[in-house]
Amino acid sequence: MGGAAAVVLMLSAMAVLLVGVESQQRVCYSGPPPEPDPDNPEHWMKQVMQEIRKRCPGRRQPTPEALLKKLVCEYSPFNISCDVETIDVKWALYGRVSGTIDCPRENVVPCGNPTTSLTKVQQACQGRPQCAFLADNDFFGGDPCKDVGKYLVVHYMCSSANVH
């Protein structure tokens, strides 16, 4: 990285830390940044970003490690639970995604409606410590894709916030 670019990078990071970081409709004033290291500006920028995250925790998108996934084939029991937290459903699909090998069937064209699937799963699970139901057409209010082998896949988190 050139000297001028490194200086611009350092000044930008200092401005963010000195002026404040806007996060989810609030401003976090955090004080001076760590001392710059002119010999290693990339390492210094990583330190600045770590400081911002530490000083201004705010709401961020869930990390991939925090998301859990459960997949069951059509006509199978579906159940998820959280030990001491409650279920927060992020995404669901009752149907099939292109290119998957899950739940092998004869007819495997992509189908299903994630919005409808999410609504049904949230009604059954959102804000509860556990939930269980049969992943079938009756539960989802009809067959979203006739003559296609389906499955239910749900991405969720265990959350300490009351998400009812």
Closest CA to 27 of 15, 36, 19: 19
104 three-state secondary structure: coil
> Is the pTM above the cut of 0.85?
no
Closest CA to 84 of 133, 128, 126: 128
Q: Which residue has the tokens 């010999």?
A: 39
Q: Token digits for 125?
A: 């699970």
Confidence of residue 148 (pLDDT cuts 50, 70, 90): confident
Instruction: Parse the chain into domains and list their residue ranges.
Output: 3-55, 68-159
* Higher local confidence (pLDDT), 26 or 160: 160
C-alpha triplet 37, 43, 47: angle, nearest 5°: 90
Of all residues in the chain, the percent with pLDDT exceeding 90 is 40
pLDDT at 3: 54
Homologous superfamily of 68-159 in CATH?
Rhamnose-binding lectin domain (RBL) (2.60.120.740)
Would you say residue 118 has pLDDT above 50? yes
Confidence of residue 47 (pLDDT cuts 50, 70, 90): low
Calculate the average pLDDT of the chain: 74
* Higher local confidence (pLDDT), 140 or 33: 140
Cα 107 to Cα 71, 146, 147, 148, 154, distances in angstroms: 18, 10, 7, 5, 22
